[in-house]
Amino acid sequence: MSERTRLFDDLAGVAGGAVSALLGLRDEAEALARARIDEALRRLEVVRRDEIEALAELAANARAGQEQAEHELAALRTRLAALEARVARLEPAADEVPPEL
């Protein structure tokens, strides 16, 4: 009986070692496949998702800045028109200017 138990223990040890080796082989195969896929994507110049998201954020910031600048420009144009109207009211008309002596 002891001989049989020892045989099962040895078989379990061998099976455990085989499973461990297979897991290591699987990890190595996954790493190799990932490396080849990454290389193929690099050669095809495919853009990664995080790069696209960063560019989308930059574009959104640029758009917000442009909208802010447009609002400020509109406000400045309104102010300029008001100032020009005030100056026009203060200046005498060309026919009202007395001739120089």
User: Residues 55, 38: one domain?
Assistant: no
The angle subtended at Cα 59 by Cα 75 and Cα 46, nearest 5°, is 170
Radius of gyration, alpha carbons of the chain = 40
Q: Are 84 and 54 part of one and the same domain?
A: yes
42, 54: one domain: no
Q: What is the pLDDT of residues 41-78, one digit of tens each?
A: 889 988 889 999 999 999 999 999 999 999 999 999 99
Q: Has residue 93 got a pLDDT over 70? A: no
Count of domains forming the chain: 2
Residues 52 and 87 grouped into a single domain: yes
What range does the domain containing 81 cover?
Answer: 48-91
Distances (CA, A) of 35 to 24, 28, 30, 39, 54: 17, 11, 8, 6, 24
pTM, entire model: 0.47
56 and 85, same structural domain?
Answer: yes
Q: Which position has the token pair 């020892």? A: 6
Statement to judge: residues 62 and 87 lie in one domain: yes
* Per-residue pLDDT tens digits for 6-33: 877 777 777 777 778 888 888 899 999 9
- Which of 15-24, 59-68, 82-91, 92-101 has maximum average pLDDT? 59-68
Whose CA is closest to 51, among 40, 64, 42?
Answer: 42
